[in-house]
Amino acid sequence: MSDLSITIIQTNLFWENKKANLEMLEEKIKNISIPTQIVVLPEMFSTGFSMNAPLLAEKMEGITIEWMKRISRENKIIIAGSIIIKEEDKYYNRLIWMMPNGQFGHYDKRHLFGLANETNIYTAGNKRLITSVNGWKINLQICYDLRFPVWSRQQSVIENNILTPEFDLMIYVANWPEKRNNAWETLLTARAIENQCYVIGVNRIGLDNDHNNHIGNSCVINPLGEVLYKKYNEEDIYTINLQKDKLLGIREAFPFLKDADLFNIQQDLI
């Protein structure tokens, strides 16, 4: 069975300062001492969670995408994290999944955070991105998506009495504030249990320009809801090796997914 090594970077961010953030993150990535396949960065890692999209947005050929291509290629890793993108006069909170060969996928945040005015600035996505690495299927999501279990739910298919789960791992990149920390950890755990998958949540630390404090609490949670890693209120770089045989063993011992309701998510919503 294939294992999967993933590195979480929990860090403070320089407010709306792309140059400083990219230089800081490049140094952290270079200092990863354990072999890894995927490096996960927080939501809006180059700017912080800013509504100043007209000033900060980039095209898909912009400096942050080019930085991701270079760092991915030089370090032979996949890099995942969201940035502000402008496309056809619309702004997106877009998660980029950058591979060392320069190819990439992207996911536009579906659930925009109205309390921070995100709904008035950005355009919601309408398609999920489930990618594959080393035989692992990975569902990529952003921050506020965590509160909406239907969007996150396995759409398992049963064929000839054989269950085929849609994904094995969920990754959430976030700028989730301290005052809602209990919801963060509770919902990450719920998503792992209900989907019988690993869940990784990567959050930032520190104050943003709106005086929201973030304590990180980045987590890795297994399909039983057991927390394998979490870190409060300090910068950290952590690499974990996930084992596919353990995941399959849990699903075999507790075949709950076969009893789940079958459904489809309409992914072309306006």
List residues with catalytic annotation.
43, 109, 143
Contact 213, 224 (CB under 8 A): no
Amino acid at 92: Y
Q: Give the count of beta carbons closer than 10 Å to the beta carbon of residue 53.
A: 18
Contact 15, 256 (CB under 8 A): no
Amino acid at 162: I
Give the pair of three-digit tokens for residue 166. Answer: 């849609």
Measured CA to CA, the distance from residue 120 to residue 199 in angstroms comes to 30
Contact 14, 46 (CB under 8 A): no
Measured CA to CA, the distance from residue 185 to residue 195 in angstroms comes to 16
Using DSSP's 3-state secondary structure scheme, residue 80 falls into strand
Measured CA to CA, the distance from residue 68 to residue 99 in angstroms comes to 9
Cβ-Cβ contacts under 8 Å for 6 (sequence gap 6 or more): 36, 37, 38, 39, 40, 200, 239, 240, 242
Q: In degrees rounded to 5, what are phi and psi of residue 249?
A: -65, -40
- Locate tokens 């809602």: which residue? 180
Q: Give the count of beta carbons closer than 10 Å to the beta carbon of residue 107.
A: 25
